[in-house]
A = this chain, B = another copy of it.
Amino acid sequence: MQTDHSLGELAVRFGLTLRGNPDLRVSRVATLTGAGAGALSFLANSRYRRQLEGARATAVVLSEEDADACPVAALIGANPYLAYARIAALLHPRPLVEPGVHPSAIIGARVRVPDSSSVAALAILEEDVEIGERVSIGPGCVLMRGARIGADSHLVARVTVHPRVCIGERCIVHPGAVIGSDGFGFARDGAAWIKVAQQGGVRIGDDVEIGANTTIDRGAIDDTVIADGVKLDNQIQVAHNVTIGAHTAIAACTGISGSTTIGERCMIGGMVGFAGHLTIADDVAVTGFTLVSASIRESGSYSSGIPAEHTPAWRRTVAQLRRLGRTRRPDGA
């Protein structure tokens, strides 16, 4: 679905400075190199300024310092990517889902679906599930007994939500996500393992996004907690009793072991591994492919990933590293 807006209207609405004809209209977003008439592009990083040269978009959102290089209408702001995000949301709103319950959906006892909400084909809402206003439950989702979904949240498709899981408002959960599965808890009994009952739940705040095939385990006793505004990419694993602070964003394939607490506003790269029972401060950045095996007490950036080199050179590096490990200092340390 696309709508159509004049540059003048966009400038006023989003507090941008317009250089160009305010009556020009845009209806869609496009890349700088792919745009044509009616398209809006953006330049968020001056490094790519040269892409402006051939720009044929109707307008480009960019910063003051790049504006002179722009051959078409410019919408100028201090944070062009943010302005672009807002305009793109206006031009490309989430497709409206017709409210109502598909006849093939399975609705359990004591479930009330508000008239403003939708339940798609073959979704399952077991008994006592609670659904807020304007919620959209996509095809094939399974909401187990008593799960709660806050207003305006959208489960895209094939999402599994267990009992004792509460999802806040305006959340988006992508296909294949599993929320509230048993934590990995076992007690040793000789050679064998005895399952430890996983009795907690999962509490997810407002404005949280959860990626495709991401898994979030319920707590062992207390709850696993995902605070407001957290963004989780695809294939992330969140173990039992993890807490993730507000507005923290985590890239794909990262795993967080049990009972670790991550602070607010952290930015965690992809394929990062967190050991269990750690405390990570607020405003911590962790670059991709890093092992976090101890608590981090102060904000800053942390890393342990080694960039690739040619395999023969790398083999020599590893050999020297091994040798290094066998070295003892003169003082015996």
Contacts and interface: CB of A to CB of B under 8 A. Distances in A.
Given A142-B158, A157-B142, A231-B186, A199 B29 contact: yes
A253 interface: yes
Given A175-B160, A303-B314, A181 B309 contact: no
A285 B215 CA distance: 25
A128 to B, nearest CB: 13
Given A88-B199, A196-B88, A307 B288 contact: no
Contacts of A222: 31, 34
Contacts of A271: 255, 271, 273
B181 A92 contact: no
A184 B81 contact: no
Interface residues of A, number: 118
A117 interface: no
Contact of A253 (B160, B217, B255): B255
A325 interface: yes
A212 B231 CA distance: 20
Contact of A34 (B104, B221, B249): B221
A178 to B, nearest CB: 4
21 contacts: A82-B189, A86-B194, A91-B197, A106-B121, A106-B139, A122-B124, A139-B144, A176-B213, A178-B234, A181-B234, A184-B251, A275-B288, A291-B305, A294-B307, A300-B310, A301-B310, A302-B308, A303-B311, A313-B325, A317-B325, A324-B324
Interface of A: 28-31, 34, 79, 81-82, 84-86, 88-89, 91-92, 102, 104, 106, 121-122, 124, 126, 138-140, 142, 144, 156-158, 160, 172, 174-176, 178, 181-182, 184, 186-189, 191-197, 199, 207, 209, 211-213, 215, 217, 221-222, 229, 231, 233-235, 237, 239, 246-247, 249, 251-253, 255, 257, 264-265, 270-271, 273, 275, 285-294, 296, 300-318, 320-322, 324-327
